[in-house]
Amino acid sequence: MVSKRRANVPMKLQRSTLILLGLALLLGAGVILSESQWFKSVKSKANPELEDTQSPILKVAEGEVKAITLERGEETLSLERQTDDTWRLTRPIQSPAEAGAVAFLLSRLNTDRPLQRVTMQPEETPDFGFTQPTGTVTLTLADDRRHTLILGGPDFSGSAYYAVVDPYNWPPQAGGEPYPVLVVNADVATAIQRPLGEWQAASTEGSANPEEPLGGEADRPEPPDPSVDTPVQSGNSEAPPAPEIPAPSQGE
């Protein structure tokens, strides 16, 4: 009798373990399904191009962009593509734009990938730095479609920033659904915060040739003409010899 009872104990333990394992798998599957349904509902209201962290921040070709607007606190910059594909700064001043600054910004947006995707509850907006954003970028495409990126504050590491792309119902309302937020490289903030002077193309007007003397060719002194007698100037030069006076004759 003792041996039979001992033989039944491992069987009972094995059955209870299998039951617990099955319950854990069912619970895990339910959580995954619930998260998947929530993600689909949020993504349908947000930008559908934001699929995963393998996609760039914005799926926009550089050649499609015809205008850029940067809002940085109280300062707003506007840039427009010209017919020869150069860029011009139209606000707050009129000036040819620095091509490198424009290319760097667009490259960060259509080449860099998000470092991570997180969710933000509406009441967490100040914690993510969106109450006073670092900056807002709006790209206007050739077909007049627009894409907007709002850059919030830095994350806990200080080497990345929170960003929202093409937000809906902005700013978030209390009690609303959570927002999908991207964690982007700090280079995006560098591109947006570039000082106004660095958005202006370097001027080449008034540059002097270091090989040319100041004043140019017209102010060079002409060499003296050897055919013209030059008067002797006073100074350290020797004086001309005095003329000889003839001596008086003996008969005088």
Predicted pLDDT of residue 211:
40
* Averaged confidence pLDDT in the chain: 78
Contact (Cβ atoms closer than 8 angstroms) between residue 43 and residue 182: no
Q: What letter does residue 245 receive in the DSSP assignment?
A: P
How many Cα atoms are found within 13 Å in the side-chain-facing hemisphere of 15?
A: 5
- 56-92: per-residue pLDDT in tens? 999 999 999 999 999 999 999 999 999 999 999 999 9
Structure tokens, 162 = 């929170």
Q: What is the pLDDT of residues 136-181, one digit of tens each?
A: 999 999 999 999 999 999 999 889 999 999 998 888 888 888 999 9
| Token pair 């998260």 in the structure block, residue | 35
Share of the chain above pLDDT 90, in %: 52
- pTM score, two decimals? 0.61
Rounded CA-CA distance 85/81 in Å is 6
Contact 220, 213 (CB under 8 A): yes
pLDDT surpasses 90 at 31: no
Confidence at residue 210, expressed as pLDDT on a 0 to 100 scale: 38
State how far the Cα of 108 lies from the Cα of 125, in Å rounded to an integer: 24
